[in-house]
Amino acid sequence: MSKNVEHIVLYSGGISSFCTALLLKELGQNPLLVFCDTKTEDEDLYRFLNETVEHLGCEMQWLEDGRDVWEVFTDVKYMGNNRIDPCSRILKRDLFKKWLKKNYKPDECILHYGINADEAHRIDRLKERWLPYTAKSPLCDVRPVWTAKTMNEKLKETGIKRPRLYDYGFPHNNCGGFCVKSGQAQFKNLYKHFPERYMEHELRQEKLFEKIGPRGFIRKTVGGVLRYLSLREFRLEFLEVDGDVDPYDFGGCECFA
């Protein structure tokens, strides 16, 4: 790898981005970490963020719009869903892009994403999105590749406790377990482990509906008919009565894809 360019890691506060930075350090680089704060994160994310940055000894750029996801939905008068995500676009992609263009030309940096070998299919879309900048996935490029198993072993070696959302069964450590692209299983998990957090999101969604009209984002086929349920409908019809919830439907995150 060239030392004439800045190596930038999109630092999400999860294991994959940490291991991306850790791998770059092992390869002789001193990457710059960039974290975009959605103001909707789990408290433990910030603990993990601070401990891993200290362990790496890297500089971190902290970016924030100042709004959380519900404030964004309210301002744009649109409820995000699994197809359109104004929250990620405004609080992460646009925010980072503005900072990036202000500070670096395309030939002055390389963007590194925490995509491991288990999800390598995502990197092509990221490369296209960030042209003319160069985007890479070191965890997939190195040999042998780093899988989820590899990353957990690497983290264990540091003595740093992994983010609690993983231990609660969430696939990502983003937005406190909430995401408009999530599926039934993730929202069931959110209600199980963070009922007060679920209710806060539910109340804010109902408040938004008063302005833009009701339109849920939890996809559920009921009686052969596809429905888009609100958080309140999903809770009352399926969570509080132990209804039929797809245990494999976690949905996707891919904030930068």
In 3D space, the residue among 103, 125, 101 whose CA is nearest the CA of residue 115 turns out to be 125
Domain annotation covers residue 252: no
Under 8 Å between Cβ of 19 and 114: yes
How many domains does the chain divide into?
2
Each residue of 6-61: pLDDT tens digit?
999 999 999 999 999 999 999 999 999 999 999 999 999 999 999 999 999 999 99
69 pLDDT above the threshold of 70: yes
Same domain, 189 and 95: no
Look at residue 253 in the predicted model and tell me its pLDDT. Answer: 66
Report the predicted TM-score, pTM, of the whole model to 2 decimal places.
Answer: 0.93
Domain that holds residue 38: 6-167
Same domain, 94 and 141: yes
Same domain, 53 and 162: yes
Same domain, 225 and 129: no
Domain annotation covers residue 254: no
Q: Which two tokens stand for residue 254?
A: 């891919």
Under 8 Å between Cβ of 255 and 114: no
Each residue of 208-219: pLDDT tens digit?
999 999 989 999
Each residue of 164-218: pLDDT tens digit?
999 999 999 999 999 999 999 999 999 999 999 999 999 999 999 999 999 899 9
Count of residues making up the chain: 257
